[in-house]
Amino acid sequence: MRTLTCPTCAAQVKPDDLICFTCGSNLPRRGPDDDPPAPATVMQEYLRREEGAGRISPAVLRLAFPTGNVEVPAGTSLLLGRDPAESLVAAAFSGFENVSRRHATVTVDDHGHASIRDEHSTNGTFVNGDRVLPGTAVRLADGDTVRLGADATGEVLLPRQEADPASFSRDGD
């Protein structure tokens, strides 16, 4: 334990003392930098080891509709539809009466994989001309065409994902 002295009278004081009990003067407070670092918790150690393994992709899915682009960052989902209380991008579909208020949900996971799920819309959701079954998610790829109802058509733009180095093997599999 190190010995501390009062800056006013040079009397010995304890590290936790706020005042000098000899002269009564206030002692300088220790700053947070003076404290030794706390040992890492079990969770911090776990996260440190897992760093890089569960990294969120910077990929952003872009749906290019004639009325504007809809962007969905990795790790999020977005409801497509005409109801501004439900959909953040309702303005893009306000001119399309055949797009439901809650039409479809687009999801991009942490690894940049995108999918679309029809939310039981009236006029359907289509990927490359094929109807998406209500409540079922369909994987999206760069260059796909998404159609909501009869005429709200957009192109899927998804950055190409780099291969995961953990998936490589020496055998060439």
**Chain segment 93-131, per-residue pLDDT in tens:** 988 999 999 999 999 988 889 999 999 999 999 999 999
**Chain segment 123-154, per-residue pLDDT in tens:** 999 999 999 999 999 999 999 999 999 989 99
**Domain ranges, residue 132:** 60-157
- Any domain includes 162: no
In the chain, the number of structural domains is 1
CB-based contact 29:35 (threshold 8 Å):
no
Taking the model in full, what pTM does it have? 0.60
- Any domain includes 54: no
- Any domain includes 90: yes
**pLDDT on residue 20:** 84
- Any domain includes 82: yes
- Any domain includes 50: no
**Chain segment 26-80, per-residue pLDDT in tens:** 888 765 555 566 776 666 665 666 555 555 556 689 999 988 888 898 889 999 9
Kindly report the CATH number assigned to the domain that includes residue 140. Answer: 2.60.200.20
Query: Model confidence at 168, in pLDDT bands (50, 70, 90)?
Result: low
CB-based contact 68:172 (threshold 8 Å):
no
- Any domain includes 37: no
- Any domain includes 121: yes
Taken in order 64, 68, 74, 75, is the CA torsion positive or negative? negative
Contacts of 11 (CB under 8 A, 6+ apart): 5, 20, 21, 22, 23
